[in-house]
């Protein structure tokens, strides 16, 4: 937000311990009367202010997304929420219902959609540069669980608790990003999947390594591999979209380039800031080519989009060049976990709900 420079942090509920909340809020230069002891209190009070917050940002653990989102939406306050949206499709559908009734802005921080070269890839695919899409591969590998899970800090612990993290572990945590990026890049919806959810780390109560075979609209096949127990991978989100004319590849750990390897011809390495970027790509560039951008700038681009949409008011859905990761995407992310659990249990293909 500081890079985007479009938001001020003016209120917050930072802890269930009022003293901790107050200290945290003061460190952020927030006026004492807007440092709240709970999100319930915060929504109630802010809703009544004439200078109320323009948007509420929900960054609690997964199982604490539903209630603040619901309260904010019912107060008509726009919401930015971490993914996954919530931990069950029932809850997700309830939020969708409330949000869509009032057309309230709702966006999820699918961070990786903010990278310029991801947007450039999407625009090139839409323009037919790959030809027809024939296959979509995505992997998302991390190593944070590979070590002894008993040594994980607080952030790790709730991620291993199904009551808090939701029905899946690695899949809900990172697989959702991977799934989302395929739908974003292709504009195609997943229609069915065959999942194998595995736990390779002893003592971890949830899936840590997942393989999903995917089917998309138009008969396109896909493959998703995600793991939080893959040594040597820090935040290894990587996709490979195979078309009839070329294959597009990108990797989050080297986000400045987009590889188009072409049928029988020289590879093209597109670069952020290049004169041949697509318009969507160029619009999300913060720095000149060569001065690398990265994770924070991607988030900043996402927040700049959010700001632009929020300023557009009721027409917020059409305010950005690239579609916002909205509450329907959030619902699909939650459905992913539920459908995958079912498929894994049955060792069989299961249809993906179209909603």
Contacting a copy of itself (CB under 8 A), which of 75, 268, 312, 321?
A: 268
Which of 350, 347, 341 is closest to 171 using CA atoms?
341
Residue 250 structure tokens: 């990108």
* Count of residues near a copy of itself by CB under 8 A: 71
User: Strands 79-81 and 56-58: what pairing?
Assistant: parallel
Contacting a copy of itself (CB under 8 A), which of 46, 173, 297, 326?
A: 297
Instruction: Give least dist CB 107 to a copy of itself, A.
Output: 20
Q: Is 5 in the site for a copy of itself (CB under 8 A)?
A: yes
Residue 351 structure tokens: 């249809």
Contacting a copy of itself (CB under 8 A), which of 19, 127, 163, 266?
A: 266
Q: Is 38 in the site for a copy of itself (CB under 8 A)?
A: no
CA distance 173 to 117: 23
Contacting a copy of itself (CB under 8 A), which of 2, 97, 189, 345?
A: 2
Peptide bond into 84 cis (omega under 30): yes
Q: Is 152 in the site for a copy of itself (CB under 8 A)?
A: no
Q: Is 204 in the site for a copy of itself (CB under 8 A)?
A: no
Burial of 143 (0-12, 13-18, 19+ CB in 10 A): middle
Q: Is 274 in the site for a copy of itself (CB under 8 A)?
A: yes
Indicate the residue among 68 and 116 with the shorter CB distance to a copy of itself.
Answer: 116
Instruction: Give least dist CB 293 to a copy of itself, A.
Output: 6
Instruction: Give least dist CB 317 to a copy of itself, A.
Output: 29
Q: Is 207 in the site for a copy of itself (CB under 8 A)?
A: no
Q: One symbol per residue from 179 to 198: x for binding a copy of itself (CB under 8 A), - otherwise; what is it? A: ---------------x-x-x
CA distance 312 to 59: 24
CA distance 63 to 137: 30
Our measurement of the distance from residue 23's CA atom to the centroid of its chain's CA atoms, rounded to an integer in Å, reads 30
Phi/psi zone of residue 249: left (φ > 0), alpha (ψ -120 to 50 degrees), beta?
Answer: beta
Q: One symbol per residue from 311 to 350: x for binding a copy of itself (CB under 8 A), - otherwise; what is it? A: ------------------------------------xxx-
CB 132 within 8 A of CB 104: no
Residue 140 structure tokens: 């998302």
Measure the CA dihedral 332/323/274/298, to 10°.
Answer: -60
Indicate the residue among 70 and 238 with the shorter CB distance to a copy of itself.
Answer: 238
Indicate the residue among 88 and 342 with the shorter CB distance to a copy of itself.
Answer: 342
Contacting a copy of itself (CB under 8 A), which of 49, 291, 311, 345?
A: 291
Q: Is the dihedral of CA 48, 52, 58, 60 positive or negative?
A: negative
Part of the chain binding a copy of itself (CB under 8 A), chosen from 17-25, 82-90, 130-138, 317-325: 130-138
How many Cβ atoms sit within 10 Å of the Cβ of residue 70?
18
Which of 153, 158, 169, 167 is closest to 201 using CA atoms?
169
Q: Is 59 in the site for a copy of itself (CB under 8 A)?
A: no
Q: Is 9 in the site for a copy of itself (CB under 8 A)?
A: no
Part of the chain binding a copy of itself (CB under 8 A), chosen from 40-48, 50-58, 132-140, 311-319: 132-140
CA distance 57 to 109: 10
Q: Is 269 in the site for a copy of itself (CB under 8 A)?
A: yes
Q: Is 294 in the site for a copy of itself (CB under 8 A)?
A: yes
Q: Is 230 in the site for a copy of itself (CB under 8 A)?
A: yes
Q: Is 234 in the site for a copy of itself (CB under 8 A)?
A: yes
Part of the chain binding a copy of itself (CB under 8 A), chosen from 36-44, 49-57, 288-296, 323-331: 288-296
CA distance 180 to 185: 9
């Amino acid at each position: 937000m500081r890079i985007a420079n479009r938001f001020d942090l003016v209120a917050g509920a930072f802890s269930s311990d009022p003293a901790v909340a107050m200290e945290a809020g003061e460190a952020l230069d927030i006026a004492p009367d807007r440092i709240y002891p709970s999100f319930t209190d915060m929504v109630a009070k802010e809703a009544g202010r004439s200078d109320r917050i323009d948007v509420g940002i929900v960054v609690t653990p997964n199982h604490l997304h539903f209630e603040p989102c619901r309260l904010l939406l019912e107060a008509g306050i726009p919401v930015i929420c971490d993914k996954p949206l919530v931990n069950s499709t029932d809850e997700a559908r309830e939020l969708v219902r409330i949000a869509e009734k009032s057309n309230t802005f709702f966006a999820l921080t699918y961070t990786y959609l903010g990278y310029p070269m991801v947007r450039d890839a999407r625009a090139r695919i839409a323009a037919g540069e790959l030809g027809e899409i024939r296959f979509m591969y995505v992997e998302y590998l991390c190593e944070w669980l590979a070590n002894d899970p008993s040594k994980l800090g607080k952030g790790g612990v709730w991620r291993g608790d199904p009551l808090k993290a939701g029905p899946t572990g690695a899949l809900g945590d990172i697989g959702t990003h991977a799934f989302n990026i395929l739908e974003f890049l292709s504009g195609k919806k997943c229609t069915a999947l065959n999942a194998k959810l595995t736990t390779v780390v002893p003592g971890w109560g949830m899936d840590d390594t997942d393989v999903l075979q995917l089917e998309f609209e138009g008969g396109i096949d896909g493959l998703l591999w995600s793991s939080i127990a893959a040594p040597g991978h820090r935040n290894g989100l990587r996709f490979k979209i195979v078309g009839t004319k070329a294959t597009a590849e990108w990797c989050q750990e080297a986000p400045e380039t987009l590889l188009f390897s072409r049928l029988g011809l020289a590879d093209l390495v597109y670069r952020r800031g290049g004169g041949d970027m697509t318009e969507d790509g160029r619009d999300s560039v913060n720095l000149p080519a060569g001065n690398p951008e990265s994770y924070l700038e991607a988030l900043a681009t996402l927040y700049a989009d959010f700001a632009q949409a929020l300023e557009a008011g009721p027409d917020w859905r059409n305010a950005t060049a690239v579609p916002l990761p909205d509450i329907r995407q959030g619902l699909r992310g939650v459905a992913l976990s539920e459908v995958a659990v079912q498929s894994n249990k049955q060792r069989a293909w299961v249809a993906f709900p179209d909603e």
